[in-house]
Amino acid sequence: MTPLLSIQDLTVELSARDRTFDAVSDLSFTVARGEVLALVGESGSGKSMTALAIMRLLPEPVARISKGRILFDELDLAAASEASLRSIRGNRIGLIFQEPMTSLNPSMRVGPQVAEALRLHKGLDAAAARRRVEEIFEQVRIPDPKRRFDDYPHQMSGGMRQRVVIALALACDPDVLIADEPTTALDVTTQAQILETFRDLQAAVGAATILITHDLAVVAETADRVAVMYAGRIVEETTTERLFAAPQHPYTHGLLGSIPHIAEAGRATERGRLAEIPGTVPALWALPRGCAFAPRCPRARQRCEDERPPLSDMAPGHRAACWYPMKGAA
């Protein structure tokens, strides 16, 4: 698969309270058409900052891209003008945020909001845009789409609002879809419904998709490939199957072990002590010299404190940044 989106050495610099530091460092990855890449990490890992950087929505001048390229269809978004970005955002790149009201205008009916995007980017007239919106509402499984067209966001449930946001993101048939914690604010039954809709439509539209989440179970059910981030860097990247079967980075291994998961009905689960990762995430402005995870790592040795391990091939299609990776069969 040829990549549709290619991130090269992306570095995001933050300036806050007379401190300047990198929130994202030398990030490189690609996403192909139709593929779902999950960016996984805990708070401060840089995953959401990466999404904002790709869309050029960083709160400048507090945060800015200080290095790197974001190649999308022969255009470098990192250097693109605001005018060309405006024609791409919400059109060729669709966005879904955790909180639907980030994307929706509270004082405007939901149907016209989606129609507006179609009129702006696709040049549809009012009647055609309305017909198209009703179709999309149907696709994202909003019941009774003709009637819901005229609802205000506050008249809808959280799950329905997120469906409107998905409709808005997909309205213009985007090439790239970026979803930042799209189901985190939702209850579990609503989450299951939204994830199903998301999976079906992503596959139908064939967009290159970046799914940002902290939830590894959501990753397992949704993504083709996973990049695990820690303290602003990718520490491991591979297919979803391999990540769960044979994690190489001790951080990934620890994360997988620390989540108490329920078994599918009928299967027994053990109730023991949860595997915990000791300590806390280091401050980005006071990172250790070597591997950022070394102070919390059960496998760390002298070399880990002295030298930062590069992201290197562990197996075909499997990269990890660790001097002493976990072994174990895939």
Partner 1 sequence: MSKLLEVSNLGKRFTIAGGLAGKARTVHAVDDVSFSIAAGETLGLVGESGCGKSTVGKMIVRLLEPSAGNILLDGIDISHLSHRRMRPLRRRVQMIFQDPNGSLDPRQRAQDIVAEPLLVSGMRGAARRRERVADLFEKVGLRPDQMRNVPSKFSGGQRQRLAIARALALNPALIIADEPVSALDVSIQAQVVNLMSDIQREFGLAYLFVAHDLGIVQHISDRVAVMYLGRIVEIGDTARVYQQPSHPYTRTLMDAVPKPDPSRRHRRLKVPRGEVPSPLDPPSGCAFHPRCPAATDICRRERPLLRRVASGAETACHHAD
Q: Select the residue interacting with partner 1 from 64, 69, 86, 214 (CB under 8 A).
A: 214
Pick the closest to residue 245 from 311, 315, 322 (CA basis). Answer: 315
CB of 33 to partner 1, least distance (A): 18
When the beta carbons of 173 and 187 are compared against partner 1, the nearer one is 187
When the beta carbons of 310 and 328 are compared against partner 1, the nearer one is 328
Question: What is each CA distance from 168 to 124, 149, 173, in whole angstroms?
Answer: 15, 12, 10
Q: Which stretch of DSSP H or E encloses residue 213?
A: strand 208-213
State the Cα torsion 278-210-168-104 to the nearest 10°: 30
Q: Select the residue interacting with partner 1 from 268, 298, 313, 316 (CB under 8 A).
A: 268
- Specify the stretch interacting with partner 1 by CB under 8 A; choose among 20-28, 50-58, 101-109, 181-189: 181-189
Query: What is the Cα 74 distance to its own chain's centre?
Result: 22
- 17 near partner 1 (CB under 8 A): no
When the beta carbons of 57 and 205 are compared against partner 1, the nearer one is 205
Using alpha carbons only, give the angle 248, 250, 255 rounded to the nearest 5 degrees: 105
Return the structure tokens found at 60: 């400048």
- 286 near partner 1 (CB under 8 A): no
Question: What is each CA distance from 139 to 36, 76, 309, 324, in whole angstroms?
Answer: 20, 32, 46, 47
Under DSSP, the state recorded for 282 is: P
Instruction: Give the largest Cα separation in the chain, rounded.
Output: 68
- 184 near partner 1 (CB under 8 A): no
Q: Select the residue interacting with partner 1 from 144, 187, 306, 307 (CB under 8 A).
A: 187
Q: Select the residue interacting with partner 1 from 281, 299, 308, 326 (CB under 8 A).
A: 281
Between CA 95 and CA 168 the distance in angstroms is 8
- Specify the stretch interacting with partner 1 by CB under 8 A; choose among 9-17, 20-28, 80-88, 240-248: 240-248
CB of 270 to partner 1, least distance (A): 10
Between CA 132 and CA 149 the distance in angstroms is 11
Binding string, 105-134, against partner 1, x = CB under 8 A? ------------------------------
Binding string, 24-53, against partner 1, x = CB under 8 A? ------------------xx----------
Under DSSP, the state recorded for 95 is: E
- 258 near partner 1 (CB under 8 A): yes
CB of 319 to partner 1, least distance (A): 18
Whether the Cβ atoms of residue 209 and residue 177 lie closer than 8 Å to each other: yes
- 135 near partner 1 (CB under 8 A): no
- What is the side-by-side order of every strand in the sheet holding 75-76? 19-32, 3-16, 63-72, 75-76
Q: Select the residue interacting with partner 1 from 261, 289, 301, 303 (CB under 8 A).
A: 261
Between CA 193 and CA 132 the distance in angstroms is 23
Residues that bind partner 1 (CB under 8 A): 42-43, 157, 159-160, 187-193, 195-196, 199, 214-218, 220-223, 240-241, 244, 254-256, 258-269, 271, 273-278, 280-281
